[in-house]
Structure 1
Amino acid sequence: MHTVAVLAIDHVVPFDLSTPLEVFSRARLPDGREAYRVRVCAPRSEVYSESFTIRAEWGVDALAEADTIIVPGCAEKAGPPGEDILQALRSAAERGTRIASICGGAFVLAAAGLLDGLRATTHWLATDLLARLHPAVDVRPNVLYVDNGQILTSAGAAAGIDLCLYMVRRDHGSAVAAHTARLSVMPLEREGGQAQFIVHELPPVPRGSVLEPVLAWIQDNLGRELALQTMAARCGMSERTFSRRFREQTGTTPLQWLLRARVHRAQYLLENTDHGIDRIAQQAGFGSPTAFRERFKRVTGITPQSYRASYRESNRTT
């Protein structure tokens, strides 16, 4: 029987810990037998979460017997993982053990050096921090999970369920995974490349900046055709000076900022209205439905229709 070890570290996030327990414990083979043996492993017999204490029957040495290791996320107060934990993960990786992280668990894998040179993801709020602390990791902020073969990472807690179901499907086929998904009241069809439900915030502008009025004007006029010349004229600058000042104060170009503003508006309309794609394309200033679909997918990773369907499915299942 396939053994799944869930590694619990102090200040573990309860939902991240319960996710693999829920999914793998429910998985059944066609003949009714349990598909996985699930063990909670920890450096001590008692581990603290944000709201309760967990008693772990298995120690870190039990990771050596696991076929799959799952590393849940921990709260910020947890601090860096101990060297005994990092070495246990490195040894498991050397043996070929499959290792996956949920949400902030990616930071533990990165600290162990297991993500160097690989694609990885974590919760979208923490992707910038992961990239900054571990520059050798190819951080992908806009996906639900990443499969590198032996090493897998997922975004937020709900994406951890997607990843666990994906591993069940990879191990035992779609029928077993679909049955497990139904027992967990989860859809099976969210693929790893699908974007996280990110609100694409616009780069901040220093308070009192000369750009503040023009950016407010741009957001009020997204449905119009906005050329660089028009935006520069609102500030009384040449296009060259405007572009330079804009990049200095926002870290991006005026046209890139405009695209993100339009995607941000489109996300809001897809989430909160029943307007058709043609109307939203016009309201957000994309010019045509074709341009809207192409540019929205470029930024978010999925089509507007898929974004709307997935957002509403997520709301029904949470």
Structure 2
Amino acid sequence: MDRRIVIVVFEGFQLFDMAGPADVFALASTLTGGGDGYRIELAAVRAGEVTAQNGVTIAVRTSLGQVGGDVDTLMVVGGFSTGEWMRDRELVEGIRRLAGTARRVTSVCSGALILAEAGLLDGRRATTHWLASGVLRDRYPAVEVDADPIYVRDGHTWTSAGVSAGVDLALALVAEDHGHEVARQVACRLVVYLHRPGGQSQFSTPMGAAAPRSEPLRELQAFIDANPAGDLRVPALASRAGMSERHFSRVFTEQTGVSPGRYVERARADTARRLLEITDHPLDRVARESGLGRPETLYRVFRRTWRISPGDYRRRFRTKES
């Protein structure tokens, strides 16, 4: 049976909070097939047209009161109008009711405020858009607010930071359901970063490098990010870019601000960080799958890049129940 995803929207919601995760789930369904995908339903206080904050109007066929039966994943979006809607008792009570039947309860951006208003984040660690974190902390002291990560999992409850972080959250949910290879394929097809780890800061750039002006180099960046365990030595990368080694190294460094070797090392460190956070793989497997080869190299690169050992990072940032 397809997993039932109910996404709750309201007037003035952030369209990408809904559309980004919906596209992730839909593509995952296409890739998995065989009735093991996702069935997406939109719900609002009242069925009918609902207008996002950017003026785009969508058709919502189901009211919250009409949603019956078990729900696999409940997702509440955010938007500039969240402050108004968190005072709507029909919305809050409807979300509380559905959460009682859901295997997972999730929010994107300021949707965490509505979950908190419903009492669903009490005693839990949660995040939200950094602009809304102060409100979440001040208004709901029972919530352990962490404003830095792009998403946080606490038991069956997942909360994410602003807008694009909803895609990262959805990729994490797909990885939990179908494995990391399916999540990787979804990310590659959507041309987004491959499942940024939840512990990553909202304020950091995933690779710490500029996007090249050259399209072949942008494509090469994506190839490196998606294939950390491949042959990423300068001769192989230069050949893929159609340049001499010397010219490639000069142009890559000029356009990204880092050398090819440093970029590859950072990409592999990012992959290792993700694996440490969301898997129980031993360090030798993490080193191998991230392209770092051996645990000794993993340790050295991790200390140089993140200033923390792989073991300490896993103990601090590994997602619960992963």
Aligned to 2:63: 59
Aligned to 1:187: 193
Aligned to 2:19: 18
Query: Which structure has the larger Rg?
Result: 1
State the distance in 2 between where 1:169 and 1:88 align: 28
**Deviation for aligned residue 1:151:** 1.1
Give secondary structure in 1 for the equivalent of 2:85. coil
Aligned to 1:85: 91
The alignment-based identity, stated in percent, is 35
Moved more, 140-149 or 174-183: 174-183
Which AA in structure 2 matches 1:48? T
- Provide the TM-score with structure 1 as the length reference: 0.60
How has the CA–CA distance of structure 1 residues 77 and 165 changed in structure 2, closer, same or farther, with 3 Å as cutoff?
A: closer
Which AA in structure 2 matches 1:36? Y
How has the CA–CA distance of structure 1 residues 273 and 48 changed in structure 2, closer, same or farther, with 3 Å as cutoff?
A: same
State the distance in 2 between where 1:16 and 1:197 align: 19
How has the CA–CA distance of structure 1 residues 292 and 186 changed in structure 2, closer, same or farther, with 3 Å as cutoff?
A: closer
Give secondary structure in 1 for the equivalent of 2:29. coil
| CA shift digits 1:100-145 (9 cap, x unpaired) | 0000110110110101110000111221121111111100011010
Aligned to 1:136: 142
Aligned to 2:45: 43
Contact 1:63 1:69 in 2 (8 A): no
**Deviation for aligned residue 1:183:** 2.1
Match of 2:112 among 98, 103, 106: 106
Contact 2:82 2:113 in 1 (8 A): no
How has the CA–CA distance of structure 1 residues 4 and 128 changed in structure 2, closer, same or farther, with 3 Å as cutoff?
A: same
**Deviation for aligned residue 1:52:** 2.1
**Deviation for aligned residue 1:33:** 3.8
Which AA in structure 2 matches 1:3? R
State the distance in 2 between where 1:180 and 1:273 align: 28
Aligned to 1:7: 8
Q: Structure 2: where are the runs of 5+ without partners?
A: 206-255, 263-302, 314-322
Contact 1:124 1:198 in 2 (8 A): no
Which AA in structure 2 matches 1:144? I
The answer to whether residue 80 in structure 2 is matched with residue 75 in structure 1 is yes
State the distance in 1 between where 2:121 and 2:24 align: 24
**Deviation for aligned residue 1:4:** 0.5
Which AA in structure 2 matches 1:67? D
Which AA in structure 2 matches 1:133? R
Q: Structure 1: where are the runs of 5+ without partners?
A: 200-271, 277-289, 303-318
- Provide the TM-score with structure 2 as the length reference: 0.60
How has the CA–CA distance of structure 1 residues 138 and 175 changed in structure 2, closer, same or farther, with 3 Å as cutoff?
A: same
State the distance in 2 between where 1:136 and 1:173 align: 33
How has the CA–CA distance of structure 1 residues 52 and 3 changed in structure 2, closer, same or farther, with 3 Å as cutoff?
A: same
Moved more, 40-49 or 153-162: 40-49
State the distance in 2 between where 1:120 and 1:173 align: 24
Alignment of 1:259-278 (within 5 A): 274=258
State the distance in 2 between where 1:67 and 1:173 align: 17
State the distance in 2 between where 1:180 and 1:78 align: 33
Alignment of 1:120-199 (within 5 A): 120-197=126-203
CA root-mean-square deviation: 3.0
Which AA in structure 1 matches 2:63? G
Aligned length: 215
